[in-house]
Structure 1
């Protein structure tokens, strides 16, 4: 099973994909999200999202500035103010 993951900015849908795990820079600390994670919502600090395609793989990093992350029944949605790259 894989985590459904979306990265969105005010301008566009940047990415909609499946991942093994995504590490997110939350304001209270970085946190990892995998399939079946408990639902919650938090604000983001400036930093890098790390996307692991499979267990043990090297992460793809995408820099984000501000925004929110929501974990729900459909997976992880990141609403970033802006991204770099």
Structure 2
């Protein structure tokens, strides 16, 4: 069984999300990307779009506008210019 990914989504106003999750998909400027636990380190700028957080059968979606994603051995941090959660329909 794969390990969990430590994920943090931060906007200038507050920490929008923080926790251990299975996967995060995000909108990079060079294309969408997904991150799982133990992903190779990288950093990229983000474009406007959805950040989808998967944890078991649960899925949460946030909209981000700009910012950066940083994948390190410790996990994934997204520093977004703006970030809001999209309410589930």
For structure 1, which segment, 44-53 or 7-16, has the greater mean C-alpha deviation from structure 2 after superposition? Answer: 7-16
Report the counterpart of residue 25 of structure 1 in structure 2. Answer: 27
Runs of 4+ residues deviating >4 angstroms: none
Trace 1:1-85 onto structure 2 (pairs within 5 A): 1-54=3-56, 57=57, 59-85=59-85
Aligned length: 83
For residues 53 and 63 of structure 2, the distance between their equivalents in structure 1, rounded to whole angstroms, comes to 11
Aligned-pair CA distance for 1:58: 5.1
Instruction: Structure 1: give runs of 5+ residues left out of the alignment.
Output: none
TM-score by length of 2: 0.88
Q: RMSD of the TM alignment (CA)?
A: 1.1
TM-score by length of 1: 0.92
Is this contact kept in 1: 2:16–2:83, CA < 8 A? Answer: no
Is this contact kept in 1: 2:49–2:63, CA < 8 A? Answer: yes
